[in-house]
């Protein structure tokens, strides 16, 4: 049983040093960094005459950073140097590999013969001719029947063969580093996606057919759609249709109160929806990369509402949208002012009870850090830990790792240094490139060439309600977690001391999603390697967001589930797939049942709304959620 809580006091976290720059950045940059902080900058050198004046080093640093920030506006935050290094590595090794070049020439010849054979068969068989190459299952660009007719079938088949050849050309070159190979293959795929015949009206039979049927009005409507979207983007407005999902009216409407607030978070306590409640409350830690109400969307798909209806007392952290004044907020601030302050507040509201802690995405990663630190410090207030699409080991973090190296991070840090935060539009660019066909080019074709509008949904409206990331926090997050993998390696520091995930000894429920491009499920599955206690892992259909917002009754939803007992044997991802059968429906009831198994008996003793002697500050969804 946890100790009796003491009156809540807001304790500012200790100052922690900014992330140390790699030595390769040079002494001049290090000096300038310290100069900008008002610290001494004289480097130890063999001769005093070699020392640069303070103003010179500071000016050089500011000049370089400002130039990089200006370039970043035209490259979506991507480092040209990192891409040039990757292509140089590939081109140099390809030039020194005559055998690989001969192999590619042979492949090109065979693909030409294949295409010629297809063209000859089509001349006799017509549209029913079997394709010489099929697109990948997730590629929906050429599925329409119109693409099976001349000349568009020749155009699409030639493009797919060329795309396959370029994949062969950019992979399997001996001597090229895996990182550079992935970058070159990714960048080349982006170029090919941009040049796809489906993106051009004169080469896309669907667009030509619609243009004839509408007398060209689809292009006129598409131009109007583009002008409207451009005006909204330039003026900072949300996309068309978002006005139908107003916060507090249509979404984020589960009744509750803001019971605590500091400079970084508001803590929401939701009203009970049942006559009896479980004694252990649930604290949900959402990611601060987006606003919290993805877990409290419309009433029919609100995870918060569902949990309260299952007899749980639910608390939710709502993060402040940081601005330039918050540039120095770091990961330790988010842990101390966010998670630990929420634990202290809940302990005052529901005394003498342990807490079920659940974290989504980046919030889950931070929660695992907090849980490890609490275990290290003999803080036993956690009853169980739930990680929703959250990574704790970043060695297989997917294509996002293509944007994580010293060159890229230095470039990104310079961009954030100038403005004090990472802007939401800059962040969205990287995510769009990961799924450019789905998130960019298909939308351009649908909205601007076909002249149609996709109906706005609550999840789409939430996705457009973006936030910023503080300079210091995002730099620490990318360097210490993504680049150095400090958390998995046992080097991550919390409150000045290292933490280890193996110290966590509470039941864990982890959820991964099959089509997650942000936190690939095989990456989230690594929690099974890091925790010696009980781990229940659920793999659900859907992507990073839609797989989590998977309410009961949602069509075509399935999930797999397996539990590794304490000190049980490890089951690798492939054997996990083979050993578990998909179950129809939502994973939410499975989680609610699991929480029930690790909770006490429900009672009619309902918790107070707010801390003793401190009335609630305002109604949910609070004030921080409205900050733009």
pLDDT at residue number 429: 56
Task: Specify the pTM.
Answer: 0.85
pLDDT at residue number 428: 58
* DSSP per-residue letters across 234-276: HHTPPPTTGGGS-BTTTBS-S-EEEEEE-SSEEEEEEPP-SSS
pLDDT at residue number 45: 41
Digit-coded pLDDT (tens) for 187-210: 999 899 999 999 999 999 999 999
Backbone angles phi, psi at 250, to 5 degrees: -110, -35
Say if residue 305's pLDDT is above 60: yes
User: Please, what are the domains in the chain?
Assistant: 23-80 (no CATH), 83-195 (no CATH), 256-423+468-626 (3.40.50.1820)
SS3 sequence, 431-474?
A: HHHHCHHHHHHHHHHHHHHCCCCCCCCHHHHHHCCECCEEHHHH
Query: Residue 287's pLDDT band (boundaries 50, 70, 90)?
Result: very high
HSE of 427, CA atoms in CB hemisphere, 13 A: 20
Say if residue 152's pLDDT is above 60: yes
> Hey, which of 11-15, 64-68, 276-280, 411-415 has the most confident mean pLDDT?
276-280
pLDDT at residue number 516: 92
207-228 mean pLDDT:
95
Say if residue 431's pLDDT is above 80: no
Query: Residue 433's pLDDT band (boundaries 50, 70, 90)?
Result: low
Flag the least confident range among 38-42, 517-521, 573-577: 38-42
Flag the least confident range among 193-197, 416-420, 557-561: 416-420
Digit-coded pLDDT (tens) for 58-79: 677 677 777 776 776 666 667 7
Q: Which residue has the higher pLDDT, 75 or 149?
A: 149
Digit-coded pLDDT (tens) for 338-395: 999 999 999 999 999 999 999 999 999 999 999 999 999 999 999 999 999 999 999 9
Query: Residue 46's pLDDT band (boundaries 50, 70, 90)?
Result: very low
User: Could you tell me whether strands 558-564 and 535-540 are parallel, antiparallel, or unpaired per DSSP bridges?
Assistant: antiparallel
Query: Residue 1's pLDDT band (boundaries 50, 70, 90)?
Result: very low
Digit-coded pLDDT (tens) for 529-539: 999 999 999 99
Between 152-170 and 178-194, two packed helices, what is the crossing angle to 10 degrees?
Answer: 160
Query: Residue 224's pLDDT band (boundaries 50, 70, 90)?
Result: very high
CA angle 237, 239, 243 (to 5 degrees): 85
User: Could you tell me whether strands 314-319 and 282-285 are parallel, antiparallel, or unpaired per DSSP bridges?
Assistant: parallel
pLDDT at residue number 93: 97
Say if residue 171's pLDDT is above 50: yes
Q: Which residue has the higher pLDDT, 607 or 415?
A: 607
Residue keyed to tokens 């983007």? 233
- Residues of the chain above pLDDT 70, percent: 85
Say if residue 37's pLDDT is above 50: no
pLDDT at residue number 29: 38
Measure CA of the first residue to CA of the last residue in the chain; give whole Å: 41
132-160 mean pLDDT:
93
Say if residue 552's pLDDT is above 90: yes
pLDDT at residue number 2: 43
pLDDT at residue number 130: 92
pLDDT at residue number 28: 38
pLDDT at residue number 439: 67
Please confirm, yes or no, whether 132 is among the known catalytic residues. Answer: no
Distance CA 292, CA 303 (A): 11
Digit-coded pLDDT (tens) for 379-414: 999 999 999 999 999 999 887 787 787 877 777 777
Query: Residue 587's pLDDT band (boundaries 50, 70, 90)?
Result: very high
Say if residue 80's pLDDT is above 90: no
Instruction: Identify the active-site residue in 132, 214, 361, 618.
Output: 361
- Residues of the chain above pLDDT 90, percent: 68
Distance CA 27, CA 495 (A): 29
Give the residue among 357, 305, 356, 363 at the shortest CA–CA distance from 549. Answer: 305
């Amino acid at each position: 049983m946890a100790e009796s809580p003491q009156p809540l006091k807001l304790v500012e976290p200790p100052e922690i040093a900014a992330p140390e720059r790699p030595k390769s950045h040079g002494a001049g940059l290090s000096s300038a960094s310290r100069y900008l902080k008002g610290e001494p900058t004289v480097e130890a050198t063999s001769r005093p005459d070699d020392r640069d004046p303070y103003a010179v080093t500071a000016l050089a640093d500011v000049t370089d950073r400002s130039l990089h920030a200006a370039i970043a506006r035209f490259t979506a935050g991507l480092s040209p140097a990192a891409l040039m290094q990757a292509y140089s590595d590939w081109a140099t090794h390809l030039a020194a590999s005559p055998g690989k070049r001969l192999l590619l020439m042979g492949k090109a010849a065979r693909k030409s013969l294949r295409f010629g054979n297809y063209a000859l068969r089509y001349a006799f068989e017509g549209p029913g001719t079997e394709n010489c190459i099929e697109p990948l299952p997730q590629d929906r660009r050429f599925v329409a029947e119109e693409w099976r007719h001349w000349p568009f079938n020749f155009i699409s088949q030639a493009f797919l063969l060329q795309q396959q050849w370029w994949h062969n050309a950019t992979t399997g070159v001996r001597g090229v580093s895996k990182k550079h190979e992935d970058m070159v293959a990714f960048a080349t795929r982006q170029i090919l996606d941009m040049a796809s015949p489906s993106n051009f009206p004169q080469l896309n039979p669907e667009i030509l057919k619609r243009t004839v049927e509408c007398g060209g009005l689809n292009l006129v409507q598409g131009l109007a759609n583009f002008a409207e979207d451009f005006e909204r983007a330039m003026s900072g407005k949300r996309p068309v249709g978002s006005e139908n999902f107003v916060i507090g009216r249509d979404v984020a409407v589960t009744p509750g109160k803001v019971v605590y607030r500091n400079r970084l978070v508001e803590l929401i306590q939701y009203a009970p929806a049942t006559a009896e409640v479980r004694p252990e409350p649930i604290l949900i830690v959402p990611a601060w990369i987006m606003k919290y109400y993805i877990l409290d969307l419309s009433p029919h798909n609100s995870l918060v509402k569902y949990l309260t209806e299952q007899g749980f007392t639910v608390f939710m952290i709502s993060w402040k949208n940081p601005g330039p004044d918050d540039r120095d907020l770091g990961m330790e601030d988010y842990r101390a002012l966010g998670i630990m302050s929420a634990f202290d507040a809940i302990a005052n509201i529901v005394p003498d009870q342990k807490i079920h802690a659940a974290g989504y995405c980046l919030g889950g990663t931070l929660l695992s850090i907090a849980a490890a630190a609490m275990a290290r410090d003999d803080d036993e207030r956690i009853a169980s830990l739930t990680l929703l699409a959250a990574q704790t080991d970043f060695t297989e973090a997917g294509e996002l790792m293509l944007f994580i190296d010293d060159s890229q991070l230095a470039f990104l840090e310079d961009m954030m240094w100038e403005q004090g935060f990472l802007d939401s539009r800059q962040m969205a660019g990287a995510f769009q490139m990961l799924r450019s066909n789905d998130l960019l080019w298909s939308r351009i074709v649908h909205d601007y060439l076909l002249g149609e509008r996709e109906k706005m949904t609550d999840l789409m409206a939430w996705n457009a309600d973006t936030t910023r990331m503080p300079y210091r926090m995002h730099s620490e997050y990318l360097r210490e977690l993504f680049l150095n993998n400090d958390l998995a390696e046992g080097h991550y520091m919390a409150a000045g001391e290292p933490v280890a995930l193996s110290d966590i000894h509470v039941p864990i429920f982890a959820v991964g999603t099959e089509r997650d491009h942000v936190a690939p499920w095989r990456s989230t599955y690594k929690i099974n390697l890091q925790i010696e206690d009980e781990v229940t892992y659920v793999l659900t259909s859907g992507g990073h967001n839609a797989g989590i917002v998977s309410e009961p009754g949602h069509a075509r939803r399935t999930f797999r589930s397996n539990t590794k007992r304490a000190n049980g044997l490890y089951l690798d991802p492939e054997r996990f797939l083979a050993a578990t059968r998909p179950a129809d429906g939502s994973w939410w009831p499975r989680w609610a049942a699991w929480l029930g198994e690790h909770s006490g008996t429900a009672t009619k003793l309902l918790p107070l709304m707010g801390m003793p002697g401190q009335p609630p500050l305002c109604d949910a969804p609070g004030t921080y959620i409205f900050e733009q």
